[in-house]
């Protein structure tokens, strides 16, 4: 027997699987745009296993991968209103909603993956995480999203000059739109699930993403030219509806937080392996990777900083991130 209980706007699926005594199991739904097996999907599944184990089966997590619950922007609204309990999304679509998420989305802010980890694991990361509270969310973990680079179906790109007039899909964030404009190209924000056919039909020339997304979303099939410009290293966010989190006892809240923390190491390990695997796969399938001199790209981003790093609070976070050694 299954029954749905509506609690503070959230639909909790209480399965009648009785564990030991008379305690029912609450199944929490989690969304992800990526397919099964992708490092973020596997990390959330791992989180779910830990939660289940540490709550003696009172809670379980069901991961709805492959955008089964919708595209990122829509699922962000769903988790904010408590329609879904958990969501794993990029930080970028939060840029217009939570000013602090601007910081890790900025082009070339992080000097390396190690720098990004130190920033996100430290005080700057904690401040960014705390800001999710304003929009009805609890930030459970930051996961790796690697470096995003441009790819297209038309030609190999080597210099800034080659970017002129090209049409790229970007993730739905103004920073990304401005980033592309600063490079002399045109940006079209659109949901992830529409990118493949938009490239295939020539509506856009290409998009920008890390190797695992370029590979698993099959964009490599239709856009063979990958420019390793690594313009941003925006991390992924794993969030929980505050309405769902607030229903947990303080002990269970601590279990959820710790399980999320423990899933980070797992995700990073899976991520590193996936980047290698995807890069090798797309290269073997004929993708042509060009490695530009990054300095002109870095210099071109000045207007993006001028526009998006005005507020004193954001400026302080950017300075603090840069100061992390």
Contacts with ligand GTR by CB under 6 A lie at 33, 72, 89-90, 145, 171, 192, 209-210, 213, 236
Minimum distance between the CB of residue 210 and ligand GTR, rounded to whole angstroms? 5
Contact between 42 and 9 (Cβ < 8 Å): no
The residue among 146 and 248 lying less far from ligand GTR, judged by its C-beta, is 146
The residue among 87 and 244 lying less far from ligand GTR, judged by its C-beta, is 87
**E strands in 160-209:** 167-170, 186-189, 206-209
The residue among 59 and 143 lying less far from ligand GTR, judged by its C-beta, is 143
The residue among 73 and 322 lying less far from ligand GTR, judged by its C-beta, is 73
- Compute the distance between CA of residue 129 and CA of residue 147 in angstroms, rounded to an integer: 21
The residue among 98 and 255 lying less far from ligand GTR, judged by its C-beta, is 98
Helix (H, G, I), strand (E, B) or coil at 52: helix
The residue among 274 and 308 lying less far from ligand GTR, judged by its C-beta, is 274
What six digits make up the tokens of 158? 């080597």
Contact between 237 and 142 (Cβ < 8 Å): yes
Minimum distance between the CB of residue 145 and ligand GTR, rounded to whole angstroms? 5
Buried b (16+ CB within 10 A) or exposed e, 66-104: bbebbbbbebbebbbebbbbbbbbbbbbbbebbbbbbbb
What DSSP assignment string belongs to 225-285?
EEEEEEEE-PPEEEEEEHHHHTTS-HHHHHHHHHHHHHHHHHHHHHHHHHHHHHHHHHHHT
**E strands in 92-218:** 137-143, 148-152, 167-170, 186-189, 206-209
Minimum distance between the CB of residue 126 and ligand GTR, rounded to whole angstroms? 22
Minimum distance between the CB of residue 313 and ligand GTR, rounded to whole angstroms? 25
Minimum distance between the CB of residue 14 and ligand GTR, rounded to whole angstroms? 29
The residue among 227 and 255 lying less far from ligand GTR, judged by its C-beta, is 227
- Compute the distance between CA of residue 61 and CA of residue 50 in angstroms, rounded to an integer: 10
The residue among 253 and 272 lying less far from ligand GTR, judged by its C-beta, is 272
Minimum distance between the CB of residue 213 and ligand GTR, rounded to whole angstroms? 4
Minimum distance between the CB of residue 121 and ligand GTR, rounded to whole angstroms? 19
The residue among 176 and 305 lying less far from ligand GTR, judged by its C-beta, is 176
Minimum distance between the CB of residue 122 and ligand GTR, rounded to whole angstroms? 22
- Give me the helix-helix angle, 113-121 and 123-131, nearest 10°: 60
Minimum distance between the CB of residue 42 and ligand GTR, rounded to whole angstroms? 13
Interacting residues of 97 by C-beta distance below 8 A, sequence separation 6+: 76, 135
Cα dihedral 127, 130, 131, 132 in deg (nearest 10): 140
């Amino acid at each position: 027997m299954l029954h749905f209980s509506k609690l503070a706007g959230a639909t909790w699926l209480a399965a009648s699987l009785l564990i030991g005594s008379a305690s029912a199991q609450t199944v929490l739904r989690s969304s992800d745009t990526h397919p099964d097996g992708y490092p973020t999907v596997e990390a959330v599944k791992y989180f779910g296993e830990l939660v289940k184990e540490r709550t003696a089966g009172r809670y379980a997590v069901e991961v709805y991968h492959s955008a089964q619950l919708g595209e990122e922007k829509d699922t962000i609204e769903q988790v904010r209103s408590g329609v879904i309990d958990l969501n794993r999304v990029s930080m970028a679509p939060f840029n217009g909603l939570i000013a602090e998420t601007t910081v890790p989305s900025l082009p070339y802010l992080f000097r390396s993956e190690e720098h990004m980890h130190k920033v996100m694991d430290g005080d700057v990361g904690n401040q960014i995480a705390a800001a999710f509270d304003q929009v009805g969310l609890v930030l459970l973990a930051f996961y790796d999203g690697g470096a995003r680079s441009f790819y297209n179906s038309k030609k190999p790109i080597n210099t800034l000059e080659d970017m002129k007039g090209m049409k790229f899909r970007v993730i739905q964030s103004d920073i990304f739109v401005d980033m592309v404009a600063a490079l002399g190209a045109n940006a079209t924000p659109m949901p992830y699930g529409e990118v493949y056919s938009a490239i295939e039909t020539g509506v856009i020339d290409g998009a920008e993403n890390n190797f695992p997304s370029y590979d698993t979303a099959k964009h490599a099939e239709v856009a063979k030219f990958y420019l390793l410009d690594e313009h941003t290293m925006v991390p992924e966010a794993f969030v929980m509806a505050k309405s769902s989190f607030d229903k947990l006892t303080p002990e269970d809240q601590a279990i959820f937080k710790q399980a999320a923390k423990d899933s980070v190491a797992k995700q990073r390990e899976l991520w590193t392996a996936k980047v290698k695997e995807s890069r090798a796969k797309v290269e073997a399938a004929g993708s042509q990777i060009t490695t530009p001199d990054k300095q002109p790209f870095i210099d071109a981003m000045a207007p993006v900083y001028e526009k998006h790093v005005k507020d004193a609070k954001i400026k302080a976070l950017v300075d603090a991130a840069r100061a992390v050694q």
